[in-house]
Amino acid sequence: MKAPAAAVVQELVLANHILHAQGVVDGFGHVSRRHPDNASHFLLSRSRAPALVEAADIGVYDLEGRPLAQVNGAPYLERFIHSEIYRARPDVMAIVHSHSASVIPFGVTGQRLRPIFHMAGFLGSGSAHFEIRDAVGDSDLLVSTPALGRALATSLGACSCALMRGHGSTVVGHSLQQAVFRAVYTEVNARMQATAMALGPVTYLSPNEAERAATANDGQIGRTWALWAHALKQTPGQGCSG
Ligand code: MN
- Chain segment 135-149, per-residue pLDDT in tens: 999 999 999 999 999
Averaged over 17-34, what is the pLDDT?
Answer: 98
* Distance separating alpha carbons of residues 173 and 178, to the nearest angstrom: 5
Residue 89, pLDDT above cutoff 60: yes
Sheet with 94-98: strands ordered across: 58-62, 41-45, 30-34, 94-98, 168-173, 161-164, 128-130
Cα of 239 from ligand 1 centre, angstroms: 25
Distance CA 210, CA 124 (A): 5
**CA dist., res. 57 & res. 45, Å (int):** 5
Quote the CA–CA distance of 99 and 25 in Å, as a whole number: 7
Q: Average pLDDT of 207-230? A: 97
Q: Are 134 and 126 a contacting pair, CB within 8 Å?
A: no
Supply the mean pLDDT for the chain.
95
Provide the percentage of residues in the chain whose pLDDT is more than 90: 92
Q: What is the pLDDT of residue 242?
A: 42
* Pairing mode, strands 94-98 and 58-62: unpaired
Instruction: Select the more confidently predicted residue: 1 or 131.
Output: 131
pLDDT tens-digit readout, 31-41 = 999 999 999 99
Angle at 143 between CA 55 and CA 160, to 5 degrees: 75
**Is it the case that residue 28 has pLDDT exceeding 90?**
yes
pTM of the model: 0.95
Task: Say what the pLDDT of residue 79 is.
Answer: 98
Q: How many angstroms is it from 30 CA to the middle of ligand 1?
A: 8
Closest CA to 139 of 127, 126, 152, 128: 152
> What average pLDDT does range 224-234 have in this prediction?
95
| Full DSSP string of 167-214 | TEEEEEESSHHHHHHHHHHHHHHHHHHHHHHHHS---PPPHHHHHHHH
Query: For position 38, what pLDDT does the model report?
Result: 97
Q: What is the C-alpha end-to-end distance of the chain, expressed in Å?
A: 25
Q: Give, in words, the CATH class of 6-224.
A: alpha beta
How much distance in Å is there from the Cα of 98 to the middle of ligand 1?
A: 6
Asked if 161 and 186 count as a contact pair (C-beta separation under 8 A), the reply is: yes
The full set of domain ranges for the chain reads 6-224
Question: 203 C-alpha to center of ligand 1: Å?
Answer: 31
Q: Which residues are catalytic?
A: 78
Is the pLDDT confidence value at 235 over 90?
no
Q: How far apart are CA 127 and CA 190, in angstroms?
A: 11
Average pLDDT over residues 41-56: 98
pLDDT tens-digit map of 94-119: 999 999 999 999 999 999 999 999 99
What confidence category does residue 18 fall into, taking pLDDT thresholds of 50, 70 and 90? very high
CA of 86 to the centre of ligand 1 (A): 17
